[in-house]
Amino acid sequence: MDLWFTEKHTDDVNFTIRVKKQLYSKKSYYQEIDVFDTYEFGRVLVLDGFIMLTEKDEFIYHEMVTAVPMAVNPEIKKVLVIGAGDGGTIRELCRYNTIEKIDMVEIDEQVVNVCKEYLPQTACAFDDPRLTLYIEDGLKFVRRKENEYDLIIVDSTDPFGPGEGLFTKEFYGNCSKALTDQGILINQHESTYYDSYVDMVKRTHRRIGSAFPVSMVYQTHIPTYPSGHWLFGFASKNLHPIYDLKADEWKKFGIKTRYYNTELHKGCFALPNYVLDVLEDCD
Amino acid sequence: MDLWFTEKHTDDVNFTIRVKKQLYSKKSYYQEIDVFDTYEFGRVLVLDGFIMLTEKDEFIYHEMVTAVPMAVNPEIKKVLVIGAGDGGTIRELCRYNTIEKIDMVEIDEQVVNVCKEYLPQTACAFDDPRLTLYIEDGLKFVRRKENEYDLIIVDSTDPFGPGEGLFTKEFYGNCSKALTDQGILINQHESTYYDSYVDMVKRTHRRIGSAFPVSMVYQTHIPTYPSGHWLFGFASKNLHPIYDLKADEWKKFGIKTRYYNTELHKGCFALPNYVLDVLEDCD
């Protein structure tokens, strides 16, 4: 049998992977959820036709949204995670014994349940006693919070569909309010390679910049995302991602990572000119 | 009309792009040469079924093999380029007025002629008076050279087919001999993301390391190459790519780049752990 899944990266570019078996396929209230078992990438979670993660390379995404802020502020105790229904971000956070409390807000319970059943590699820390899972809209949840979190990670889908509200100006303003003085906001920031994404990146960067004095972007290679070149945002009121990097303290955590290291931490904030041009155009 | 070109990144992963028109398709003595005009990437050069360059992102590759060595040794005067039939590397080198002589050795004249006709964006500097083009095997050419070049760029196809000899121990040893004391060798170093490439990367890194005291690897995002995560090798007898970086001198060249900048220069040598593991395994 020759079964292939195709993701359209643009109207004119397809990324196609060979599938062993379609393990799950159902519509939730919010989105279409598929899980495939594949030859090259292991199990793959697909939402509304877009690859969210693969077992082969999810470590890249999940290390880069957690280790970067933890190395800038190793004192982080209270974390809010928005989205992240697959559990990968939670798994990485739970490796830090110093973290005391994690609130996770996922709008779509069905994603959590599907990942618990089919993606044990990422959905392995939902029983951690430090975690409280809220099934609700992150946009509304964060409105009620003030000076409460040291770290907010917005591990959302793209800025259309159920994740849309997590890219609004109101949302970033509320994140700023919900964060402590030393707090950090990390968000997935899309990519600038394909023209069809550029406006979203600009809009997102402009909105975060208006809510935070420090707003920077870092890059990561995620081969199963469109173009393989993915950006994350680092925003805070007081902490700079490189000047305030505490490399030795992070190393003392003794956490073995497969992508992140503290040299790469410094390197990933050095962006290509064509990306800088897009971001500077926001100012 | 719905015409698509597919490159197999692995047996189980296809990258497929929509084609406006197939502009050229012929076998040379060495390889199958195709040029497509595409919707997303402009014109695309394909050798033996593998994308060599696209008009959309060739600047990334060509800047990264030229600006990196020029910023470490801005005194580079004499350059040998092996492969590079599309002319993109030559175009970038010719932007440096201080370079006095460029020898280019390409085994397949038909690639040069096809690129001159169909890829004027890259094949635009073949008339530069500093350039001498030799149509012959780079492996043999470099055997005759001693203490002659400040920079050798191996802009080859993959380590199978016509480019195979350019990944041998003998070749790297001859490059070392052909280089001056301050000389630098840059080579395309494949990628470690897909398992099918890992052995080639290891072998290449081991061989270069046995020929040069300084042998390092740097990374680049090239979305139209398999995984989008591409490596280059930097080797030399005496110069370190970061400790010897002359950022201010490079900036004085006044060359406008779309990918490279001197911050990214430092950043691109900071590799992910899973890449470091592969490279360290060579020692």
Same domain, B88 and B220: yes
Residues B227 and B240 in one domain: yes
Q: Catalytic residue numbers of B? A: 155
Taking an 8 Å cut-off on Cβ atoms, the answer to whether B261 and A273 are in contact is yes
**pLDDT value at position A116?**
98
Best of A38, A220, A229 to substitute, by most chain B Cβ atoms within 10 angstroms, is A229
Lookup: tokens for A222: 């995620």
Angstrom distance (rounded) from CA B278 to CA B266: 21
Q: Where among B54, B72, B92 does a domain terminate?
A: B54
Q: Please indicate, yes or no, whether residues A17 and A95 belong to a single structural domain of this protein.
A: no
Judgement on whether residues A134 and A268 belong to the same structural domain of the protein: yes
Q: What is the pLDDT of residue B167?
A: 78
Question: Looking at this protein, which amino acid is placed at residue A175?
Answer: C
Could you give the angle at the alpha carbon of B216 between the alpha carbons of B212 and B218, nearest 5°?
145
Query: Do A4 and B14 make contact, defined as CB atoms within 8 angstroms?
Result: yes
User: Tell me: the pLDDT tens digits for A89-124?
Assistant: 999 999 999 999 999 999 999 999 999 999 999 999
Terminal C-alpha separation, chain B: 52
Q: CA-based Rg of chain A, rounded to a whole angstrom?
A: 18
Q: Kindly list the distances between the CA atom of residue A92 and the CA atoms of A42, A64, A81, A149, A186, in Å, as whole numbers in the listed order.
A: 19, 10, 12, 17, 14
Lowest mean pLDDT among A57-61, A170-174, A181-185, A216-220: A170-174
Q: How far does CA B41 lie from the centroid of its chain?
A: 19
Q: Looking at A34, A128, A155, A199, which residue is catalytic?
A: A155
Work out the pLDDT band at A160, boundaries 50, 70, 90: low
How far apart are the C-alpha atoms of A103 and A106, rounded to whole Å?
10
Considering CB atoms only, which of A17, A228, A272 is closest to B228?
A228
> Is the same domain home to B248 and B136?
yes
Pairing of strands B101-106, B78-83: parallel
- Stronger pLDDT, B207 or A167, i.e. the higher one: B207
Q: Report the SS3 class of residue A165.
A: helix
Residues B149 and B82 in one domain: yes
Q: How many domains does chain B have?
A: 2
Helix, coil or strand: residue A277: helix
Q: Which residues of A touch B57 (CB under 8 A)?
A: 193
In B222-278, beta strands by DSSP E: 229-236
- Nearest CA to B107 out of B82, B90, B86 is that of B82
pLDDT at B29: 95
Give me the amino acid identity at B215: S
Q: What is the mean pLDDT of residues A266-281?
A: 95
Residues with Cβ within 8 Å of residue A70, at least 6 apart in sequence: A76, A96, A151, A250, A253
Round to whole Å and give the CA distance between A236 and A152: 10
Indicate the residue of A229, A260, A270 with minimum beta-carbon distance to B221: A229
Same domain, A186 and A221: yes
Q: Which residue of B has its CA nearest to A277?
A: B258
Q: Same domain, yes or no, for B211 and B274?
A: yes
d(CA B50, CA B200) in angstroms, rounded, equals 17
> Residue A262's domain is classified under what CATH number?
3.40.50.150
Alpha-carbon distance values, A41 to A16, A19, A57, B12, B227 (Å): 12, 9, 8, 9, 12
Residues with pLDDT less than 50, chain B: none
> How many CB pairs lie under 8 A apart between chains A and B?
124
Subunit contact B221:A223, Cβ cutoff 8 A: no
pLDDT at A234 over 70: yes
Indicate if A75 and A127 belong to the same structural domain. yes
Specify the higher pLDDT residue, A200 or A33: A33
Shortest CB distance from A270 goes to which of B11, B18, B266?
Answer: B266
Which residue range forms the structural domain that includes residue A66?
58-280
Contacts of A12 in chain B (CB under 8 A): 17-18, 38-40
Chain A CB contacts of B223 below 8 Å: 193, 227-229
